[in-house]
């Protein structure tokens, strides 16, 4: 008995060989050239991105490291300091930047000149700036206390040497001083992108001053402000320089944040695994922030 196989229309469509699909449709030397171009990138990515991340994760993978961290009173204090530093530092900085960006919208020539001076802290290198602040705040021979003594005959406090509150405050102040100009310029650019006719329409409707800000400027800047705040939070969570070079984590190790404590554990205590674990412990906070940021950046309803 014979059977007849009925062929469907699909069977006559020519199929691309699997091998060609895998090669992205490239043929012969095209494929070799494509490989030649992509291999250096892959090699660099593996060497300088994938390997350090995997090595770091491997160093800090043991659960007992996190138990050890939890038992260390310095770690818990560093977590508190990180929350205070990021929470206060970022929000004060961004709110100040929002207000100042409005001020710098003025068109007078001297406002433009002032803007130039205002962005200088951001433009100068970070390390010399923070080291200078460290020396200025020195209780014995620093510029600030010498000024207080010479002008007011007052012995100033040990800003970064004796009090945790003053030292952490000094670190937060230094961070704001350094980074507020940058975010001011970003928000200024955002404000400048708001169409002028919206303001004119608002003015016709009687919205001026604070109402204009509340009903026109802020709704249009809100998304940019949120994205900037998220970005700044992520940057500040990993910020090492401000704390290390201004207070050095002192007095009595009381102003360490996770970034500086991680370096201390890795190199001063000579426990790189513990140092990596300290830094990795910020991931539960960092990952949601990155996810929210990515969603915001993908959003199609961007105000500006």
Chain residues that interact with other proteins, rule: CB under 8 A: 32, 55, 59, 74, 138-141, 149, 158, 160-162, 164, 247-253, 266-272
With respect to other proteins, which residue has the nearer C-beta, 35 or 192? 35
Minimum gap (Å) between residue 87 Cβ and other proteins: 24
Query: CA-CA distance, 96 to 60, in Å (whole number)?
Result: 38
257: phi then psi, degrees, rounded to nearest 5: -110, 175
Report the candidate in 142, 76, 134 with the shortest Cα–Cα distance to residue 250: 134
Residue 164 vs 296, nearer CB to other proteins = 164
Contact 92, 172 (CB under 8 A): yes
We find the least distance from the C-beta atom of residue 277 to other proteins, in angstroms, to be 13
Q: Where are the beta strands (DSSP E) in the chain?
A: none
| 3-state DSSP assignment of residue 138 | coil
Shortest Cβ 162–other proteins spacing (Å): 5
Minimum distance from residue 130 beta carbon to other proteins (Å): 15
| Residue number, 154 or 302, with CB nearest to other proteins | 154
Q: Can you tell me the distance from the alpha carbon of 90 to that of 289, in angstroms, rounded to the nearest whole number?
A: 14
Nearer CB in complex with other proteins: 60/89: 60
Q: Do 166 and 157 meet the contact criterion of CB atoms below 8 Å apart?
A: yes
- For residue 263, the minimal CB distance to other proteins (Å) is 9
Whose Cβ is closer to other proteins: residue 266's or residue 280's? Answer: 266
Q: Give the integer Cα–Cα distance in Å for 298 and 301.
A: 9
């Amino acid at each position: 008995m014979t059977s007849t196989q009925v062929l469907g229309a699909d069977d006559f469509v020519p199929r691309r060989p699997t091998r060609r699909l895998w090669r992205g449709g490239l043929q012969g030397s095209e494929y070799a050239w494509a490989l030649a171009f992509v291999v250096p990138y892959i090699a660099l990515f593996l060497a300088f991105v994938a390997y350090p991340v995997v090595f770091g994760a491997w160093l800090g993978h043991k659960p007992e490291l996190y138990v050890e961290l939890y038992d260390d009173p310095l770690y818990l204090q560093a977590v508190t300091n990180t929350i205070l530093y990021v929470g206060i530092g970022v929000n004060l900085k961004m709110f100040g930047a929002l207000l100042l960006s409005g001020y710098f919208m003025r068109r007078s020539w001297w406002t433009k000149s002032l803007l130039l001076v205002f962005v200088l802290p951001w433009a100068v290198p970070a390390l010399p700036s923070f080291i200078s602040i460290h020396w200025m705040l020195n209780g014995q021979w620093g510029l600030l206390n010498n000024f207080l003594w010479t002008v007011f005959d007052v012995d100033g406090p040990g800003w970064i040497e004796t009090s945790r509150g003053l030292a952490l405050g000094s670190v937060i102040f230094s961070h704001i001083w350094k980074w507020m100009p940058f975010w001011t310029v970003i928000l200024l650019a955002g404000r400048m992108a708001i169409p002028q006719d919206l303001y004119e329409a608002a003015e016709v409707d009687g919205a001026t001053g604070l109402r204009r800000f509340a009903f026109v400027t802020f709704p249009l800047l809100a998304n940019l402000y949120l994205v900037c705040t998220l970005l700044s939070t992520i940057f500040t969570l990993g910020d090492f320089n401000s704390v290390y070079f201004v207070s050095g984590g002192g007095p009595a190790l009381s102003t360490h944040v996770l970034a500086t404590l991680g370096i201390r554990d890795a190199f001063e205590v000579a426990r790189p695994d513990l140092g990596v674990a300290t830094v990795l412990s910020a991931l539960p906070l960092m990952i949601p922030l990155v996810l929210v940021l990515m969603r915001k950046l993908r959003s199609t309803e961007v105000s500006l």
